[in-house]
């Protein structure tokens, strides 16, 4: 009777509870026992069926989910968490949808073990998901995660058959659309911006297809260039470092030399100033001394002159090694002088 | 006992009849009723409990919700003769179950039709546009400040985008849509999922990217060297400036002092130049004559004149 529809590869929900035996099978067993004429068994079976019917009328909806009731396949109502009643199975069927749960879809990576330090499977296997062209016709590897929850259970259940495939295809399409309008530099450095735009556009696309899904976050993992190109990108980074290093080295040299030179210049100037002071003071001293002397000299010129002369002679004459006093009236004095004495000593 | 058996048989027969007549249509389904293989009446599009004539009529269920089609990636050249892989996907629904039932009948056949029609439309659109039109979507100004980007690429980037990816996808849909109508299929959208270079082109692109990076790296290095030299030159200049300025200042100060000293000496000594040379000469005698000096003096000299006579005239 109630035709069991193949629900497709729907990965989430569609939780029909434990499938009870089909109506017709039960009825068959009833009729079998009927033919056997064992009424007590028949009564027991009828009782069991009645109990089952009663039980299938009551159901609870968990706090993180809603219940969707279909009567003969037609959508009737959506019920909130708590205890509820419905017509027996076969007439009204219940599907629980977890509306609070956040689901995650990963692109270009797979989580191996979630936790504080989440491990991801190596991205190479999922390269076809994450490899894309940028707007400047370069290749980039963009792995990302989409988190979402079911916002509209009615749409989620009835409007689209394979929601997961829809979401995955849409995500890939939108991500490539956004990345296709950006340069490789922007893809590598402005992940936040890309994620935001993807989120908006993806939500639009999902709304248009009536998936009933609400995107929570779109998160870009580490974006990069393809593996063969990576060393050359690293080389650029290295070159930037080298450039900075060269500049710093030059600045270091500058800072080593210039302040020292400034100090030395200061020293030179100070020394010159010292020289100047010295020179002027000495000149003043000399001059004043001379003037003092001269002032006294003018008072008694002759005698002072004599005194000065004699005082000087008193100092000079004793110092001299050989002194010859010659009378100019004496002739032929020269041979007497033993001028060669020095030579003899040798 | 016997009566009960008869009742049971009747109930069973009624049940069989009922189960043959009643059927449930889910929210996600639509049904075409057929009688001996031919359709009867309007297709059922609303969910709920429905009836048909048992045994004679048959209910054919078709999905009513949005269905997926994911094409196989196809290799094709763009207008600028770059070979790329294009992977498209589409959402579609059975709009007219009757036509669907009569033409393609089942989903597998429908997917095969979609394969053919969308793939050929994709090929048409891709081969008639430049690669950049399929990659980019708008004229958004990209940040390509980076140094040394290959000139040809720059040209492509600078060229305004006339179509863009979304419009190409729309074009694919517009080409494919009318062809699907006869099968009772409505294409809801067609989107380009992936575009990638084919293997050989990819390698060339990688090589180009590498060369580009190398060039940029070299530029940075040479910038570094240039900047370093500039600083070194600056240092040299500064050094020369500092030392020469110091020298100049020192010389000026010294010169001034020398001039001052000269003036002071001149002021003082010009009072009596003769006396100046007299006392200074005496000082020099004191300093410069020593025991190595031979002195021959005449008794006529002022110093020894008394040696000859004690008086002067």
pLDDT tens for A229-254 read 889 888 888 888 999 999 999 999 99
Distance from CA of A115 to the nearest CA of B (A): 31
Question: How far is the CA of A255 from the CAs of A246, A258, A259, A266, B19, in angstroms?
Answer: 14, 6, 6, 17, 98
Same domain, A114 and A208: yes
Q: What is the pTM of this model?
A: 0.69
What would the mean pLDDT of B228-245 be, rounded to a whole number?
Answer: 93
Residue A35 falls inside a structural domain: yes
For B8, the token pair is 């049971």
pLDDT at B192: 92
d(CA A107, CA A218): 11
pLDDT over 70 (residue A37):
no
CATH number for A208: 3.30.479.30
Show residues of chain A in contact with B234, CB under 8 Å: 254
> What is the share, in percent, of chain B residues with pLDDT greater than 70?
94
- Structural domain count, chain A: 3
Answer for the pair B59, B19: CB distance below 8 angstroms, yes or no: no
pLDDT of residue A1: 38
Hey, are the CB atoms on B291 and A321 less than 8 Å from each other? yes
Residue A212 lies in a domain: yes
Nearest CA in chain B to A168: B193
Query: What pLDDT is recorded for position A313?
Result: 84
Among B142, B216, B282, the residue with its CB nearest the CB of A309 is B282
Is residue A112 a part of any domain in this protein?
yes
> Nearest CA of chain A to the CA of B180: how many Å?
19
For residues A328 and A37, give the distance between their C-alpha atoms in angstroms, rounded to a whole number: 188
How much is the pLDDT for A9? 37
Closest chain A residue to B286, measured at CA: A316
- pLDDT over threshold 50, residue B80: yes
Whether the per-residue pLDDT at A170 is higher than 50: the answer is: yes
Provide the mean pLDDT of chain A.
81
Highest mean pLDDT among A326-330, B117-121, B294-298: B117-121
A310 and A286 in a single domain? The answer is yes
Least confident of A3-7, A71-75, A185-189, B214-218: A3-7
Residue A153: inside a domain: yes
Is A150 found in the same domain as A83?
no
In DSSP notation, B31-73 reads EEEEETTEE-SSPB-S-EEEE--TTTEEEEEEE-SBEEEEPPP
pLDDT tens across A66-87, in order? 999 988 888 888 888 988 888 8
Query: Quick check: B144 and A2 CB within 8 A?
Result: no
Residue A143: the pLDDT is 92
| Statement: residue A61 has pLDDT above 60 | yes
Q: Report the pLDDT value the prediction gives residue B94, as an integer from 0 to 100.
A: 92
Question: Chain A window 242-261: which residues touch B at a Cβ cutoff of 8 Å?
Answer: 242-247, 249-251, 253-254, 257-258, 261
Distance CA B236, CA B252 (A): 24
A250-280 residue pLDDT tens: 999 999 999 999 999 999 999 999 999 999 9
- Does residue A93 sit within a domain? yes
Range of the domain at A93: 23-98
The CA-based angle A68-A70-A72, given to 5 degrees, is: 170
Q: Note the pLDDT of residue B8.
A: 86
Does a structural domain hold residue A124?
yes
**Could you tell me if A208 and A107 lie in one domain?**
yes
Identify whether residues A50 and A113 lie together within a single domain: no
B244 near A CB under 8 A: no
The token duo for A41 is 């068994």
pLDDT range class, residue A177, cuts 50, 70, 90: very high
Query: Residue A16: pLDDT above 50?
Result: no
Instruction: Please check whether residue A338 lies inside any domain of the structure.
Output: no
Q: Is there a contact between B47 and A308 if contact means CB atoms under 8 Å apart?
A: no
Instruction: Domains for chain B: give ranges and CATH numbers.
Output: 2-63 (no CATH), 67-197 (3.30.479.30)
Mutate to test the interface with A, among B111, B275, B277, B300 (most CBs of A within 10 A): B275
Residues A140 and A88 in one domain: no
Q: Which residues 41-60 of A have a C-beta within 8 angstroms of B?
A: none
Within-domain flag for A254: yes
**Which of A22, A39, A73, A158 to substitute to test the interface with B, most B CBs within 10 Å?**
A73
A73 and B262 within 8 Å at the Cβ level: the answer is no
Examine the domain organization and report whether A120 and A85 are in the same domain: no
Predicted complex ipTM: 0.73
Residue A173 has pLDDT above 90, yes or no: yes
User: Do the chains contact at B49 and A244, CB–CB below 8 Å?
Assistant: no
Burial category of B144 from C-beta neighbours within 10 Å (exposed 0-12, middle 13-18, buried 19 and up): middle
Which chain A residues contact residue B233 at CB under 8 A?
A: none
């Amino acid at each position: 009777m109630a035709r069991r529809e193949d629900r497709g590869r729907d990965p989430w929900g569609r939780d029909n509870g434990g499938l009870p035996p089909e109506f017709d099978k039960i009825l068959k067993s009833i009729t079998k026992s009927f033919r056997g004429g064992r009424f007590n068994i028949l009564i027991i079976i009828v009782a069991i069926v009645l109990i089952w019917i009663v039980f299938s009328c009551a159901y609870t909806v968990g706090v993180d989910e809603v219940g969707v009731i279909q009567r003969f396949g037609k959508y009737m109502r959506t019920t909130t968490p708590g205890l509820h009643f419905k017509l027996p199975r076969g007439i009204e069927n219940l599907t629980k949808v977890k509306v609070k749960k956040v689901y995650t879809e990963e692109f270009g990576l797979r989580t191996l073990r979630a936790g504080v330090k989440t491990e991801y499977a190596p991205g190479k296997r999922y390269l076809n998901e994450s490899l894309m062209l940028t707007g400047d016709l370069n290749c980039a590897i963009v792995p990302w995660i989409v988190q979402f929850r079911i916002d509209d259970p009615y749409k989620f259940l009835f409007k689209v058959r394979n929601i997961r495939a829809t979401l995955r295809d849409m995500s890939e399409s939108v991500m490539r659309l956004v990345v296709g309008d950006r340069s490789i530099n922007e893809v590598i450095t402005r992940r936040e911006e890309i994620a935001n735009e993807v989120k908006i556009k993806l939500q639009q696309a999902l709304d248009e297809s009536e998936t009933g899904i609400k995107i929570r976050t779109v998160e870009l993992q580490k974006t990069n260039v393809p593996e063969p190109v990576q060393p050359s990108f690293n080389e650029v980074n290295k070159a930037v470092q080298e450039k900075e290093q060269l500049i710093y080295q030059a600045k270091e040299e500058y800072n080593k030399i210039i302040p020292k030179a400034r100090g030395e210049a200061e020293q030179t100037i100070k020394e010159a100033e010292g020289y100047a002071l010295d020179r002027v003071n000495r000149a003043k001293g000399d001059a004043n001394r001379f003037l003092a002397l001269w002032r006294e000299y003018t008072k008694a010129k002759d005698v002072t002159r004599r005194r000065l002369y004699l005082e000087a002679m008193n100092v000079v004459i004793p110092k001299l090694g050989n002194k010859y006093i010659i009378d100019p009236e004496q002739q032929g004095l020269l041979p007497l002088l033993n001028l060669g004495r020095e030579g003899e000593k040798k | 006992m016997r009566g009960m058996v008869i009742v049971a048989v009747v109930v069973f027969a009624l049940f069989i009849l009922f189960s043959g007549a009643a059927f449930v249509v889910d929210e996600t389904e639509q049904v075409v009723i057929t009688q001996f293989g031919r359709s009867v009446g309007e297709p059922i599009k609303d969910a709920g409990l429905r009836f048909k004539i048992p045994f004679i009529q048959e209910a054919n269920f078709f999905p009513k919700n949005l269905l997926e089609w994911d094409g196989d990636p196809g290799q094709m050249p763009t207008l600028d003769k770059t070979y790329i892989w294009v992977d498209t996907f589409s959402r579609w629904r059975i709009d007219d179950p009757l036509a669907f039932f009569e033409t393609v009948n089942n989903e597998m056949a429908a997917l095969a039709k979609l394969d053919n029609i969308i793939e050929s439309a994709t090929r048409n659109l891709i081969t008639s546009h430049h690669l950049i039109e399929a990659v980019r979507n708008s004229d958004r100004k990209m940040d390509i400040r980076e140094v040394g980007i290959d000139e040809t690429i720059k040209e492509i980037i600078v060229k305004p985008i006339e179509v863009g990816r979304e419009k190409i996808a729309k074009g694919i849909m517009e080409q494919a849509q009318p062809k699907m109508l006869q099968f009772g299929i409505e294409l809801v959208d067609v989107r380009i999922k992936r575009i990638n270079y084919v293997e050989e082109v990819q390698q060339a692109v990688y090589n180009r990217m590498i060369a580009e990076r190398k060039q940029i790296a070299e530029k940075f290095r040479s910038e570094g060297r240039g900047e370093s030299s500039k600083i070194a030159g600056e240092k040299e200049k500064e050094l020369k400036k500092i030392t020469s300025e110091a020298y100049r200042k020192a010389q000026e100060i010294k010169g001034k002092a020398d001039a001052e000293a000269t003036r002071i000496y001149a002021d003082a000594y010009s009072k009596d130049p003769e006396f100046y040379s007299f006392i200074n000469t005496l000082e020099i005698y004191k300093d410069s004559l020593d025991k190595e000096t031979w002195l021959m003096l005449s008794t006529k000299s002022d110093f020894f004149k008394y040696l000859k006579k004690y008086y002067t005239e």
